[in-house]
Amino acid sequence: MIDIRNEPEILSHDREKPQILDANSYVENIHIAVGFASGCWRNGVFDTESAIRISNELCAYMRLFKEGRVQ
């Protein structure tokens, strides 16, 4: 697992939180992202902050994947 919390896509207030995408492959991390995002709807209310957090992690991870820095 690579630590993506200091990548530019990650908001400063999310850098101290535990990383969501913590698997060792892009397939596992995509599944984690989808599962986490599905939890952003609770009792008919959308948690925008959590959605932005997972979206930013996914963007950072996919950029690193494209650059060949993660599997």
pLDDT digits (tens, 9 = 90+) for 20-41: 999 989 999 999 999 999 999 9
| Mean pLDDT across 7-13 | 97
What is the C-alpha to C-alpha distance for residues 35 and 23, in angstroms, rounded to an integer?
Answer: 13
Helical (H) or strand (E) element with 28: helix 26-38
10 touches 19 (CB < 8 A): no
pLDDT digits (tens, 9 = 90+) for 35-69: 999 999 989 999 999 999 999 999 999 999 999 99
User: Has residue 71 got a pLDDT over 90?
Assistant: no
What is the C-alpha to C-alpha distance for residues 52 and 39, in angstroms, rounded to an integer?
Answer: 13
List the alpha helices (DSSP H) in the chain: 26-38, 48-66
User: Has residue 17 got a pLDDT over 90?
Assistant: yes
Question: Can you tell me which residue has the tokens 């690193």?
Answer: 64
